[in-house]
Structure 1
């Protein structure tokens, strides 16, 4: 990876995920996963998230929809926390999760709504699953 691509990817990664998260990930990097970390920094953060054709809130919402639909709860929660930095609102996330329910299934959306409430506190009154 070129130094310029790495620097740009790291800047975008920090803007989206926050310095604290990225610092933890960098500190936990070993010889085993260093190539993977380089890859996601360049490809995900530099080459995709760094593109200008979609704004950050839109990329955030698309990412959340995909992660929810695929059942990647840990990554979904990470991107919920990142939504505070991207400008995607809890109301927009709610609407995306309604689409997930329709097109990917109620169980996927149910899990995602529970995470939404847990991570963003969107509805702290009821922590039980909806179905």
Structure 2
């Protein structure tokens, strides 16, 4: 959905940075080559500039929908990336737990089980996972 003057790209890059963080986007941009430059532009304009930038859902809601779809599809690296992004979108670990229960019912226990493993590890790594009540160890 390029608009010819770069507005969609600029809006997408701003949204991408707000959601994923400058460090992540800077790393992705630094790794970009002539081979994937068109793809990076496509996702920045299409996903971030045209969809994530729409006013219809909050960033938190978009995070939850995105994580459910990625988990259902078994896209573990993207699940981890978007789990890290929830620190910027306002989705809580409890929100993620509820989404993954929905994934288990509608997409299957095996994909939800693996997504729970990825999300749990990602939250632990970021210090955002609280130990269970009465659980003195992890």
TM-score, normalised to structure 2, is 0.88
Deviations for 1:3-23, whole angstroms, at most 9, x for unmatched residues? 211111100000000000000
Does residue 1:116 correspond to 2:119, yes or no? Answer: yes
Aligned position for 1:78: 81
Aligned position for 2:93: 90
Cα distance between partner residues in 1 of 2:76 and 2:122: 11
Does residue 1:37 correspond to 2:40, yes or no? Answer: yes
Q: How many corresponding residue pairs? A: 126
Does residue 1:13 correspond to 2:16, yes or no? Answer: yes
Cα distance between partner residues in 1 of 2:67 and 2:7: 28
Q: CA RMSD in A?
A: 1.2
Listed as ranges, the gaps of 5+ residues in structure 1 are 127-131
Does residue 1:63 correspond to 2:70, yes or no? Answer: no
Where in structure 1 do 4 or more consecutive aligned residues deviate above 4 Å? 123-126
Aligned position for 1:24: 27
Aligned position for 1:54: 57
Q: CA deviation at 1:123?
A: 6.0
Tell me if the contact between 1:117 and 1:123 (Cα under 8 Å) persists in the aligned partners: no
Give the 3 Å change call, closer, same or farther, for CA 108–123 of structure 1 in structure 2: farther
TM-score, normalised to structure 1, is 0.92
Listed as ranges, the gaps of 5+ residues in structure 2 are 132-136
Cα distance between partner residues in 2 of 1:80 and 1:99: 16
